[in-house]
Structure 1
């Protein structure tokens, strides 16, 4: 199991043209992991909780950016922003407006699309569960994200929220959003890099997450969104240990999603 690096990779114009450059103390504290794909690299930057920045050969992707815009000051501006659902730890219009550039394109679930202010809605596409949208040639599939355990069903009802799957450089990436280990998650195929939520009472426990992830067996997985309520915070190290006990050849990456003491 690998932990996050303390440096970022600055990608050159051509494959193999990368050099290691230091970023600010804030960015370095969050770390980054680099994954080779056709045509370049994907660099993963955990920001906080459910927010992540991906630098890719086809552009910069922000997933569920929320919070103070200063958190994103050290990252390149987004070419695309993916929003999974409307909860405040996943969607904040003011943050999106602050971090976006003129050409930034958004993909949202239907509920968030209806909430967007006009300036953002003009740049957005909505995707219902199971639909795919074309974002400048990148096909983005909306994977159903919902609760399946009695007592949690009202948090994320079936049919409303999205996870996303998309392919960059021949590698399929999955961002779960808030969900449990649904049949749709378990049925995913050929996932190279996954981000999977786990917390209680809102999503699922570490053992449930490990059980679901071992079934679709991505090459790499980041547990994220693991701060919970009333003792429901999950331990990513426990998740990694549980994954090691399965037959899945999945490498767990632990990202710096929270400041020390935040969870």
Structure 2
């Protein structure tokens, strides 16, 4: 009997440890200094990233299954950029602990969110701003060029975001092309920029856009398209050939594809 109890306790401890351990394939987190403590950047997959700053945890476009977030703190804020299932993923949301989370979304996303989240939602339209939990938030347009009613991403439907965190400005592009609003950004310290045809822009467009607004650090993310993964090494080469000061950080956003 004692042996059975011991084995049961050992199994329970092992299971608990397995549930809290980070997935082995997840890319290592980065830390970026701010005036109010470190900003931790944890790549998850595709357009999903977790930011931790000032004791708060921020989930961006949680997608790919709740297991990808094993071992990470529950979010205080969830940002969703668009209605497509690689951004608004109800199955992943249902597996996460969202009881305390504010959900910042564009109107089109708010309309499609499951009813259980409605009381947690703050709707931002392109151009609107919000101050919450010690951070500033600005909703930035994200859309395809040329503008067309049947484009995958029409202007005004989705949001990119600029987050102000401890004196650092963090840009999350969402699904966009090399639009004037992105090129016009100023004082961006960290940028997450998409590059996947035919849904957003190609590597060349992304490089030219980044060279226009010159973030201090840029992460290529959301770079899986119809023909596999985009050539992010070429993106880095193009950017740094023109501007060596931009820190292009290549991280593994698709561990399952390796």
TM normalised by structure 2 equals 0.87
Match of 1:223 among 220, 223, 226: 220
2:5 aligned partner: none
Correspondence 1:192-211 to 2 at 5 A: 192-211=189-208
1:254 aligned partner: 250
- Structure 1 residue ranges without an equivalent (≥5): 1-22
Residues 142, 25 of structure 1: alpha-carbon distance in 2 compared, 3 angstrom cutoff: closer
Shift of 1:136: 3.0
Residues 167, 248 of structure 1: alpha-carbon distance in 2 compared, 3 angstrom cutoff: farther
Supply the distance in 2 between the matched residues of 1:233 and 1:97 (Cα, whole angstroms). 28
2:155 aligned partner: 158
For the pair 1:85 / 2:88, whether they are aligned, the reply is no
- Structure 2 residue ranges without an equivalent (≥5): 1-19
**Contact conserved, 2:23 with 2:70, CA < 8 A, in 1?**
no
**Contact conserved, 1:215 with 1:248, CA < 8 A, in 2?**
no
Higher radius of gyration, 1 or 2: 2
1:56-89 deviations in Å (ceiling 9; x for gaps): 1151100000121111112111110000001011
Q: The residue matched to 1:119 in structure 2 has which SS? A: helix
For the pair 1:45 / 2:42, whether they are aligned, the reply is yes
2:230 aligned partner: 234
**Contact conserved, 2:199 with 2:225, CA < 8 A, in 1?**
yes
Q: Which moved more, 1:233-242 or 1:183-192?
A: 233-242
Q: The residue matched to 2:85 in structure 1 has which SS? A: coil
**Contact conserved, 1:217 with 1:248, CA < 8 A, in 2?**
no
Supply the distance in 2 between the matched residues of 1:241 and 1:218 (Cα, whole angstroms). 16
Supply the distance in 2 between the matched residues of 1:196 and 1:159 (Cα, whole angstroms). 18
> What CA RMSD, in Å, does the superposition of the two structures yield over aligned residues?
1.9
1:173 aligned partner: 170
Supply the distance in 1 between the matched residues of 2:149 and 2:44 (Cα, whole angstroms). 26
Shift of 1:32: 1.1
**Contact conserved, 2:25 with 2:255, CA < 8 A, in 1?**
no
Q: Which structure's residues are more often helix, by fraction?
A: 2
Supply the distance in 2 between the matched residues of 1:222 and 1:152 (Cα, whole angstroms). 30
Residues 137, 41 of structure 1: alpha-carbon distance in 2 compared, 3 angstrom cutoff: closer
1:143-173 deviations in Å (ceiling 9; x for gaps): 0000114789611011111100011110000
Supply the distance in 2 between the matched residues of 1:159 and 1:25 (Cα, whole angstroms). 36
The size of the alignment, in residue pairs, is 239
**Contact conserved, 1:147 with 1:153, CA < 8 A, in 2?**
no
For the pair 1:67 / 2:57, whether they are aligned, the reply is no
Shift of 1:134: 2.9
